[in-house]
Amino acid sequence: MKFSNFLFPECRDPAQDERVIDETIAEARLTERLGFDAVWLAEHHFDGICAYVDPLSFAAALATATSRIKIGFAVAQVSLHHPIRLAEQISLLDNITKGRIIAGLGRGTAYNIYDYQGYDIPAEQAQERFEEAEAIMLKAWSGEPVDHHGKYWNLKLPMLRPRPYTRPHPFIIRSSGTDESMLEIAHRAQPFLMNVQSYEVTKRRMDLYRATLRDGGLDDAQVARLVDDCWIWRNVFVAETDAEAERVGVPLFQEMQAQRAVMRERVFREQGVRLQSTVPGPTAPAARTVLEHALIYGSPATVAEKLAAVDAIGVGGAIMSFRLGPMPYDVAASSLTLFAEKVMPALRG
């Protein structure tokens, strides 16, 4: 299993954005020095849930601040971008990093209506825009002229410059939050990013993913290669002892979830809209909000044991958020360092 750090820094005070952005660059450098395989970047606008806001611009900063580690998007919200502009930006990043970009793509947020309003994009168009934009980007990366007439864009250009460093195009991976979207990706024989889920759901989806690939005619080696490119997301906190991890990490995780719940309710009161799908009647809380499912915490030995169980499911890599909500940078850096020095050797050994 590959290991990565999801750089997802919250900043509630606009006056502190600069400090948090600087700390996040330092965290990326530390992540590379500690031997992680990748860092991942999010895209959220206007609400402080992600201080650097724009993964494309921030990836350019990290491209020059690092030299080895892969830089992934989890995810770029494609529906908010012009497809040719996005294809140019990713192609440029792919050249600067000499192929270190993982182009994680998604339709757009299911969390905050502000993202769509700020970019004048109707939320109900997000999926269609994503599908059309991705097709345009793939055509543009091919090096051929683009003459596209679709529902949302009419485009004509001779050739995208610069051409991608990675051929035929930068590595692409899609996000998936449901069985249905995962199955669609499997039928395309593509890898996917799984959002925070319980152990049981993670195992079921990975088993279903492998079975679907085999039903599609792929052999064991092809299935193994695709699984190796899939990633699952968890929040992680490591301390010297289980008691210390529970004392420090758990309240910070709970505060992060509480703050996000408050923001969702505020958006609903202001806008009268909930982007997240709702089902009539009682429903279980989302796995990302449940301590048992969303946070792996404890001493190095405890965290290694819990992650070994996830690794046994058969996943390519773990996208791990170490800086949780209002967590100070030095606390996150300590957890990250303990993970690299004591957890990674145990798992890789």
3-state secondary structure 61-112: HHHHHCCCCEEEECCEEHHHCCHHHHHHHHHHHHHHHCCCEEEEEECCCCCC
For residue 278, name the pLDDT band (cuts at 50, 70, 90): very low
Read off the amino acid at residue 258: A
* pLDDT the model gives residue 266: 84
What predicted TM-score, i.e. pTM, was given to this entire model?
0.95
Q: Which architecture characterizes domain 2-276+288-348 according to CATH?
A: Alpha-Beta Barrel (3.20)
Does pLDDT of 33 surpass 70? yes
**Which one is predicted more confidently, 114 or 319?**
319
* pLDDT the model gives residue 116: 92
Does pLDDT of 267 surpass 90? no
* pLDDT the model gives residue 276: 61
Q: What share of the chain has pLDDT > 70, as a percent?
A: 97
Does pLDDT of 313 surpass 70? yes
- Which residues on adjacent β-strands are paired with residue 102? 72, 171
What's the rounded mean pLDDT across residues 138-154? 98
Would you list the domain boundaries of the chain? 2-276+288-348
Does pLDDT of 284 surpass 70? no
What's the rounded mean pLDDT across residues 53-72? 98
Residue 164 phi, psi dihedral angles, 5° rounding:
-60, 150
- Closest alpha carbon to 197 in 104, 290, 74, 314: 290
DSSP secondary-structure letter at 339? Answer: I
* pLDDT the model gives residue 205: 98
Which structure tokens are listed for 48? Answer: 């402080």
Rounded Cα gap, residues 322 and 34, in angstroms? 14
pLDDT tens digits for 326-348?
999 999 999 999 999 999 999 98
* pLDDT the model gives residue 112: 79
Does pLDDT of 111 surpass 90? no
DSSP secondary-structure letter at 342? Answer: I
Does pLDDT of 282 surpass 80? no
- Closest alpha carbon to 10 in 309, 345, 256, 335: 256
